[in-house]
Structures are given as C-alpha cells and as structure tokens.
Amino acid sequence: MNPLHPNPWANLRVALQYLLDCEGDGYQLVHYVVAVGLQRMDQTGAISSTSWLAIPSEQADYITQGLLDSAEEMRATQDIEDD
C-alpha cells in the first residue's frame, strides 16, 4: 500500500462522486461496481486482455449482484450502433 494514498478505495469513491457531481443531478454515491478492461504485453510482444471488477470488500454480495443485474438490463436497452 502506498503511504501517500493509504486507502485507494476511498480515492475511487471520491473520484466516482466527483463524476456524479459533474453531471449535476444531485445523486450521492452509495454502492458501486466498476468494470474495466485490461491489457498487457508480455516479453514476446503477445497481448493478453481480461476484465476486472472493482468492488468494495465491505459491500454485501446481494448489492453487488443487484448492480450487475441492473447494468445488464441497462446494456440490453441501450441503442448501440453497429458499423
């Protein structure tokens, strides 16, 4: 752990709340799941990719599952362009 940033989860929470504040809707962050795509290149130049979820360890499983279910529903109803 970095002594300059003893709790990276607190930093993530602050960053997410800042994004919400910038939207101006007045919402306060209560729970979250952050999904990210990762890539790395090995010494041979091969690229590997994976997904990773950032979930606070104190967050109850049923809350995390509810957020993931909600994200799936939102994804299913989005108007996505296929080029």
Lookup: tokens for 48:
């590997």
More confident residue, 76 or 63: 63
Per-residue confidence at 22, pLDDT binned at 50, 70, 90? very high
pTM for this prediction: 0.75
**Whole-angstrom distance, CA of residue 39 vs CA of residue 81:** 24
Please give the torsion angle defined by the CA atoms of residues 12, 14, 15 and 21, in that order, rounded to the nearest 10 degrees.
Answer: 150
Share of the chain above pLDDT 70, in %: 88
DSSP assigned state of 59 = S
Q: Any idea where the domains of the chain sit in the sequence?
A: 1-28, 31-83
